[in-house]
Structure 1
C-alpha cells in the first residue's frame, strides 16, 4: 500500500490543490492528513471542503484545529497565531467547525502505523529535539507495541528519527529519492508542511510511504505563493504570515 502523508495545511488552498494534484498522479491508496487544516492562511472553508469531499483522506486533529473549536486552547499561542485563530473562528462554517471538533487525536493503521499531529498523546507537544524523540520512541516500544512507525506533524519541518535495535536514537539525514527503512527499527516521520513550510524552502512538502518495499520519500511541490500572500493581506491577517511563505520559515 502507498500512503501519502500531508500535514499543516493551514488554510493554504493554493498549496493544497497543487499537492493533491501531484498525489493523484502517483496512484496512492490512502492520504493521511496529520492535522492543522486551519490557521495562519486565508482559505479555511475551501481547504476543509476539499479535504472532506474526498473519500481517501484519513485525518487527525491538530492544535490549531483544536483552538478554533475551543479558543481556550489558543491562550499560549503567539499573538500572530492567536489573531489568526480568532479570525478563523469568525470565518469557518458551523459544519466545518463540528468536523474539526470531532477529529481524533490519533489514528492507527494496520496495527503498525500511528498518525498524530504533535505526539500520540498530545496535539500541541513537539518532536523536535533528541530528548523528545527518545521519549516518544520509548512510548511506542513500551506502551504502544506493535506500533513501528509514528507519522507526525506540528513542527512544519521534514524529519526522520529512528531507534535501532540497540536503543540508539538518531536523526537521519534526508536524501533525494526513496529512503529504505529497517523493519527492526522504530521510526518517527514528519512529512513537513503543505501550507507553511519551515525548512527554508517555500515549496509545499509532503511524503509517500510504501508498505511493500518499506520506504519513505519526501517530496516538494511549487505553488502560487504570491496568490496565497495576496489573500492573506486582503483578509487583513498579519503581514508576516505572507512574508514568511516566500522564505520557507
Structure 2
C-alpha cells in the first residue's frame, strides 16, 4: 500500500503542478492533503479546484481556517485578506475550506495487529501547534498516546522529518512532518511531499517496517516568485520562495 501525503501548498500553482506530476508517476493507492491550500500566493482557486476535482482527502490548515473570518470583515480584509490573497477565493471554494475536517484517522488490521494512522495539520491538540523534530520526547509520546496514533502525520512547520520514538511498552511510534509543497522553510527551494509504504509485515514492534520516502520536486521558482512580484502581494513572499525560508 502506497499512500502519498502532502501539505502547505499555499496557493503556489507552479510548485503544486510539479508535485502532482511527480506524485502521479509514483502511482499511489491513496492521496491525502494536510491543509494550508491558500495564503502567500495568487492561485488559491486553482489549487482548491484541482484538490476537489481529484477528490483528495484534505484537512483544514490554519490559513484555510482564517479565510472565512477575515474575508467577511472589511477592516481585516484590508490588512490580512489582501496580504495573503484570501480575497481572491471564490464563495464556493470558501465554503469548501470552511467544511474541511480537523483530523483524519485510518486504522489498519495487519496480521491481527492494528496500525493507527492519524493526520493533523499542526497537531491533534491544535491546528497551529508546531511539532518539531526536537520537540520534547515525553510530550510527543503523550500526544501520540492521547490520539491513539502509531503514526502521526503533520505539516505546518514546512520542515520535513521522520522521527521514531519508543514508548514504555517497547513499541515504535512514528511522527512524520511532510514539509511543504509550495513554501519550504528548510533551505531547499524544491517542493516536498512524502510516500508512505505499508504492507502486511508493517508493525509497531519492528522499527524498520514503516517506510517513508520524502520526495523533493523541482519547479520554476523564479516564475512563481515573479508572479508574486507582479501582484499586490508583498515582495517578501517572493524572496521567501527564492531562499526557502
Shorter-normalised TM-score: what interval? Answer: 0.7 to 0.9
Asked if the contact 1:163–1:186 (Cα under 8 Å) also holds between the matched residues in 2, the reply is: yes
Q: Does 1:187 align with 2:187?
A: no
Q: Distance in 2 between matches of 1:231 and 1:83?
A: 19
Asked if the contact 2:40–2:84 (Cα under 8 Å) also holds between the matched residues in 1, the reply is: no
Secondary structure class of the residue paired with 1:5: strand
Q: Does 1:214 align with 2:210?
A: yes
Pairwise CA distance, 1:159 = 1.5
The aligned counterpart of 1:35 is 35
1:201 is aligned, of 166, 173, 188, to: 188
Q: Does 1:247 align with 2:226?
A: no
The aligned counterpart of 1:140 is 144
Pairwise CA distance, 1:139 = 2.2
Q: Which moved more, 1:82-91 or 1:94-103?
A: 82-91
C-alpha spacing 1:120/1:132, structure 2 compared with 1 (3 Å): farther
Provide the TM-score with structure 2 as the length reference: 0.85
Secondary structure class of the residue paired with 1:163: strand
Q: Deviations over 1:128-182 (max 9, x none)?
A: 26345542431222x222x201100000000222221458xxxxxxxxxxxxxxx
Q: Distance in 1 between matches of 2:37 and 2:136?
A: 24
Pairwise CA distance, 1:30 = 1.1
The aligned counterpart of 2:152 is 150
C-alpha spacing 1:122/1:165, structure 2 compared with 1 (3 Å): closer
Give ranges in structure 2 of 5+ residues lacking alignment. Answer: 72-78, 109-115, 200-208
C-alpha spacing 1:191/1:200, structure 2 compared with 1 (3 Å): same
Provide the TM-score with structure 1 as the length reference: 0.83
Pairwise CA distance, 1:89 = 2.7
Pairwise CA distance, 1:5 = 1.1
Pairwise CA distance, 1:14 = 0.5
Q: Does 1:107 align with 2:104?
A: yes
Give ranges in structure 1 of 5+ residues lacking alignment. Answer: 73-81, 168-182
Q: How does 1:55-94 map to 2 (within 5 A)?
A: 55=55, 57-71=56-70, 83=80, 87-94=84-91
Q: Deviations over 1:54-105 (max 9, x none)?
A: 03x2111100000112229xxxxxxxxx636655231100000000001111
Q: Distance in 1 between matches of 2:218 and 2:86?
A: 29
Secondary structure class of the residue paired with 1:119: coil
Asked if the contact 1:191–1:205 (Cα under 8 Å) also holds between the matched residues in 2, the reply is: yes
Q: Distance in 1 between matches of 2:150 and 2:82?
A: 34
Secondary structure class of the residue paired with 1:207: strand
Higher Cα Rg, which structure: 2
- The runs of at least 4 consecutive aligned structure 1 residues that moved more than 6 Å come to none
